[in-house]
A and B are shown apart, each in its own frame.
Chain A
Amino acid sequence: MTFAQFIQMFANGTMLGFQLSLFATGLTLVYGIMHIINFAHGELYMLGAFAVYLFFQVFGINFVVSLLLAMAVVSFLSIVIERVFFKPMRGYHIPSFIMSTGLIFVLQVMAMSLFGVKDKAVDSVFTGVLKVAGVTLSKERLMIIPISFVVIAAFYVFLLRSRSGRAMRAVMQDPDAAALQGVNIDTTCSLAMGIGGAMAAAAGGLLAPIFVVNPYLGPPLTWEGFVVVCLGGRTSLPGTLLAAFIMGYIKSFVSTLVDPIVASMCAAALLGIILIFRPQGLLGHEA
């Protein structure tokens, strides 16, 4: 392994880490606030990718604007999903898991009938490569890092500074106490789901130009998202970020040095081991 290879793998891992952070933060929010295992989260990612395909590729709108539009559309859709499907499931793990797998089917068929089953390619936005000290990095992949950083930072500012963000943290800690303090649980749940959907859509939209877009993007990513969430401590947002980067680097390094199947195996085994020896995850505190 040369130095250049190492840097490339590191950059790739960072990119994957940001992608997973964007994706898994929504999962952690939904789990932490509503205690719902949302396996349809990957479908929101897939719809985000399709929305970017639609706005950017078909209508020819500016990439950043279409990304924002995609986030808005998917966010609206996830609030509708929350209101219709998840409201009666709050707090029930297995039924909500089954409900969300039903949603996977529904959303996949929706995407399939709207866009067809074929892989769609989205044109590159940032072309060319960056060469630093003999290391070649694609600009397109590098650009993911600042954009996701901005989205995640915006989310954290919202969470830490705004009133609704404080309400969210309160509900995550103790819903009953939060309700007694006058926090509207229903609004907070919808908001959490909306933000989660928007962030999943952002991840999907950002990666659309790099990978292809098709209706079956969701489930494998959802699985990785859950590994990240469990690893990070399920209700801990900083834990999710940490775990996302650990996963990103594992995937990048093991895939390149050994092969991708072993990388997925490592991830699954890691999840099993963490759940058995440290069920509260890396940074979680509840037992």
Chain B
Amino acid sequence: MKRNRPKSKYIGISAALLAAFLIPAFVKSPYWLHVFITIWIYIIVTSSLRFTITMGEWSFAHVPLMGMGAYTSALFVKSLGLSFWSALPLAVLTTAAISILIYLPCLSTTGTFFFFSSFAFGEVMRLCWVKFQNPFGGPMGLFDIPYPDSLQLPILPAIKFGPLSKTPFYYMTLLFMLISLLLLYMLERSRLGRIADAIRESNLLSQFVGIRVNGYKMVILVIGTAFAALGGSLYAHYFTLIQPDDFYWGLGVYIIIYLVVGGTQRFEGPIAGVLLFVLLRELLRPIVMYVPLVYGFILAATLAFLP
């Protein structure tokens, strides 16, 4: 097979972009728009998880940290009365800061230990949401999270976000997703991405050539977390209801499944995985009870035949 990828790649990307931008024009059903909005949010989270595992450590705290993004963003708007547009970056920054606190102890471990210790700290975080009624709303979670404020752009009429208009949400999440993907792609192609590869291939050797392994791991994890928090914030203000169990290991496992089935080696992997699984779930809606069964078998087949 001859490799003349660049040209076909650009054509493919532009076709996909065009399709993504035109979907609201053809799909009138709010239900399907909803499906696509969740897909875009999941792509942000899954791609950022993929970015963190390029350095070889699997973190299970990623989804709880996405939840932290959702909670902080919701609290900034609800309790402090900020606008969504200032709460979003603040939530991303706060969550990134929290992730430093969480990953700092975890990074003294590697491999399976890292996985389990991040799991443990994610769980502590989730239990904090359940336990503390006052800011986090306890097991019931936070509800009535305001929709994003309407946005006044120079040329266009004011864009209003509300329960009945999915289209603005659609374009907002799509834009955020594209920006995140672009940034993640650039980061991966940058020096940082190559350092991540080096650390994954050989931790010890990277130390020999003068890479501060733990420092870079932390940088990568914090960047990944920032994108997860972005996804979480969009999630909170789109669904307007968040509960501690939303970010429990159910979603954590699903995100990992999307990533593994889509493929961790390639940048497109998580996008393909999310699209495949979420669309599959919608198509199998009539037999929704058996969907996990189908997921399980796809997963088993992927691991057995396409390692």
Q: Which residues of A contact B (CB under 8 A)?
A: 37, 85, 88-89, 93-95, 97-99, 101-106, 108-110, 112-113, 219, 223, 226-227, 230, 259, 261-262, 264-265, 268-269, 271-272, 275-276, 279
* Separation of A98 and B264 alpha carbons in the complex (Å): 13
Shortest C-beta distance, A178 to chain B (Å), equals 22
Q: Which residues of B contact A (CB under 8 A)?
A: 58, 105-106, 108-109, 111-113, 115-117, 120-121, 123-124, 127-128, 130-131, 249, 253, 256-257, 260, 289-290, 292-293, 295-297, 299-300, 303-304, 307
Which residues of the partner chain B approach A272 to less than 8 Å between Cβ atoms?
Answer: 105-106, 117, 120-121, 124
Which residues of the partner chain B approach A226 to less than 8 Å between Cβ atoms?
Answer: 116
Q: Chain B's interface: helix, strand, loop or mixed, by majority? A: helix
* Separation of A109 and B113 alpha carbons in the complex (Å): 30
Check A265–B109 contact: CB distance below 8 A: no
Check B124–A93 contact: CB distance below 8 A: no
Which residues of the partner chain B approach A109 to less than 8 Å between Cβ atoms?
Answer: 289-290, 292-293, 296
Check A113–B289 contact: CB distance below 8 A: yes
* Separation of A127 and B285 alpha carbons in the complex (Å): 45
Q: Specify the chain B residue showing the minimal Cβ separation from A107.
A: B296
**Known contacts A98-B299, A226-B116, A272-B124; is A106 also within 8 Å of B292 by CB?**
yes
Q: Specify the chain A residue showing the minimal Cβ separation from B254.
A: A101
* Separation of A88 and B306 alpha carbons in the complex (Å): 12
**Known contacts A261-B130, A265-B128, A268-B120; is A102 also within 8 Å of B109 by CB?**
no
Shortest C-beta distance, A98 to chain B (Å), equals 5
* Separation of A97 and B292 alpha carbons in the complex (Å): 16
> In the complex, given contacts A98-B260, A271-B116, what are 13 additional A-B residue pairs having Cβ atoms less than 8 angstroms apart?
A37-B112, A88-B303, A98-B303, A103-B296, A105-B295, A113-B289, A227-B120, A264-B123, A264-B127, A272-B120, A272-B121, A275-B116, A276-B109
Shortest C-beta distance, B94 to chain A (Å), equals 21
Q: Which of A99, A105, A279 has the most CB of B within 10 A?
A: A105
Shortest C-beta distance, B48 to chain A (Å), equals 18
**Known contacts A105-B295, A262-B131; is A93 also within 8 Å of B117 by CB?**
no
Shortest C-beta distance, A191 to chain B (Å), equals 23
Check B289–A112 contact: CB distance below 8 A: yes
Check B58–A94 contact: CB distance below 8 A: yes
Shortest C-beta distance, B12 to chain A (Å), equals 28
Q: Chain A's interface: helix, strand, loop or mixed, by majority? A: helix
Which residues of the partner chain A approach B260 to less than 8 Å between Cβ atoms?
Answer: 95, 98
Q: Specify the chain A residue showing the minimal Cβ separation from B248.
A: A219
* Separation of A279 and B108 alpha carbons in the complex (Å): 10
Which residues of the partner chain A approach B124 to less than 8 Å between Cβ atoms?
Answer: 265, 268-269, 272
Q: Specify the chain A residue showing the minimal Cβ separation from B304.
A: A88
Which residues of the partner chain A approach B123 to less than 8 Å between Cβ atoms?
Answer: 223, 264, 268
Query: Across chains A and B, which 7 residue pairs bring their CB atoms closest together, nearest first?
Result: A105-B292, A102-B299, A272-B120, A106-B296, A102-B296, A105-B296, A268-B123
* Separation of A261 and B113 alpha carbons in the complex (Å): 24
* Separation of A105 and B304 alpha carbons in the complex (Å): 17
What are 17 A-B pairs with beta-carbon distances under 8 A? Answer: A85-B300, A93-B112, A101-B256, A101-B257, A101-B299, A102-B296, A102-B299, A102-B300, A105-B293, A109-B289, A230-B116, A259-B131, A264-B127, A265-B124, A265-B128, A271-B117, A272-B120
Which residues of the partner chain B approach A97 to less than 8 Å between Cβ atoms?
Answer: 115
Check B128–A276 contact: CB distance below 8 A: no
Which residues of the partner chain A approach B293 to less than 8 Å between Cβ atoms?
Answer: 105-106, 109-110
**Known contacts A101-B257, A105-B295; is A275 also within 8 Å of B289 by CB?**
no
Check B127–A99 contact: CB distance below 8 A: no
Q: Specify the chain B residue showing the minimal Cβ separation from A279.
A: B113
Which residues of the partner chain A approach B289 to less than 8 Å between Cβ atoms?
Answer: 109, 112-113
* Separation of A195 and B256 alpha carbons in the complex (Å): 30
* Separation of A207 and B307 alpha carbons in the complex (Å): 39
Which residues of the partner chain B approach A95 to less than 8 Å between Cβ atoms?
Answer: 260, 303, 307
Which residues of the partner chain A approach B299 to less than 8 Å between Cβ atoms?
Answer: 98-99, 101-102
Other-chain contact of B257, A85, A98, A106, A223 (Cβ < 8 Å): A98
Shortest C-beta distance, A133 to chain B (Å), equals 36
* Separation of A29 and B51 alpha carbons in the complex (Å): 34
Which residues of the partner chain A approach B304 to less than 8 Å between Cβ atoms?
Answer: 88
Which residues of the partner chain A approach B256 to less than 8 Å between Cβ atoms?
Answer: 98, 101
Q: Which of A88, A89, A259, A275 has the most CB of B within 10 A?
A: A275
* Separation of A98 and B289 alpha carbons in the complex (Å): 21
* Separation of A83 and B296 alpha carbons in the complex (Å): 17
Q: Which of B112, B120, B249, B289 has the most CB of A within 10 A?
A: B120
